[in-house]
Structure 1
């Protein structure tokens, strides 16, 4: 009898499908926003991007996130040069974005219209040293370009082989749902993924966006998953530091939530950041969080969060402390059949239906 050796699967090699597509991606997406020097005063210095990228790939990772505007194009250039050195372009799933202007004093160098989309993709391909982009996001909704123009332009890029999948970031739920419907009826590529700000300290996406993503079978690829560091313990009461990401202060609710995170982290002998990330992976199964890091040690810490299982009591503490007011109509009719106090009445109280919670 021959002994067999079971090869251990790398932690990020437990791939999942990206939304309604057949594309396999890692359970953590590596955010590359800080790679480059142009935004160093804002983002701080990232001294080891290649080491972080190599560590990510060694762990089975294949999903990289960036944008044309990040570090004024330097981020894409760094990724392109790294892929050229490693010869691993086909292995990587490259996600980038367009919308923000890259040329000054040019009214058409910004926005979601066809001209800017096509020129942005052309320039991203050059910087990335590749002939295709795996996943192209609208970076921000511009409230001017017709949805039909965006989706038809996406279709043309996919048909030309320059883009494989299309996505939206920082866009209202109704726009994405409408875009998906138009694409389905026209035979155009449907939306594969969505990026928005979502974390234990900011669950407002649960009002409209997350129910929409589940209904449309769109992958949830959130940014800001560590809450701009609000719950790591580095901010104490009495401090009001300026925090990036549109949030400028810590509230008493944030401090109370941080206290709970710290308590659970100490009991499990892990870091606050790992608890925050583990909460998301437990609370929203199938979510593909974007994690950014300055060192390989931080990346390894994030990866270890995949193994943390929070029990029901711990999840309840975190959920209760971070709960967000869902607003109308959800505070009136709920978000599921079982939550709806209006439908189940006059003899229908005992109706049983499959009921998948949307929060």
Structure 2
């Protein structure tokens, strides 16, 4: 993993070189992730994880199998876990944060329902931890405008933004994520491949701060990426599953809504069901979803459905999803009856995160010999 270097001259050779470099970076991250998984098994207590979500809508099955399931696994293995509800970052690509309080509570509900334990994981919000956000200013002094503007994730977000223009906050997004990670001195961050450039900014900030102010001591660890083999689940329309596209099955959806959404999912005209992600992405995504819910291989799942066609596939997926989510939904309903408990959970998590952030900010100020 690496920050994109000075752009190469245009042309096929430059494109090939860029692709090769990206592939090498991902390959190295995958090898390192495999080694880290072995270390976690041996000594989980040496790791601290930072992960989280923006409160912009209900979490869905893509979130569950992509990240939530892994968070609970790490927590249960003994890894100290911080779960951030990134409410300030809602404004990076939109004009207002409508319904924010409700979305925050919905996230806490989803976290508790899937098994995030507030006794072992710290759930907190940006807005409740001022010292975390104060780290953004010194961190921004450690990265250049060119480095931020070249960040491929930022470029992609700008390209796909529905706004006529984006605010300067978008360019600070990687540095703000560095503050998220480093305020608690997290040394492990579960990410997808597309988030590696953001994590590299955090590593760069940590390294440069240590070099400039550390006086021989490492104030911050350089966090490692933990690449999970997260499955790619498409939305019901065959595109990326997204909260904003109305193509996702929310964890909070009931059995009838789930059945309706799956019934309307895009498939194809071929009757025999096969698992072929490249040739039949929509069908294969449904097969994979059923397989994940039943802890089976997608190939075996497709073979069992065989010539049943789209109707049999959708019936199988609906039954598998509703059976798998039933206990999660039951817990969610139970937690939702006590909103005061949700607020207490968040309050206690915010208190713990504030104490950690205050200590880190004090250490940063001392290292910089500054009161900024």
TM-score clears 0.5: no
Q: Which has the higher contact order (CA 8 A, sep 6+)?
A: 2
1 or 2, which has the higher helix percentage?
2
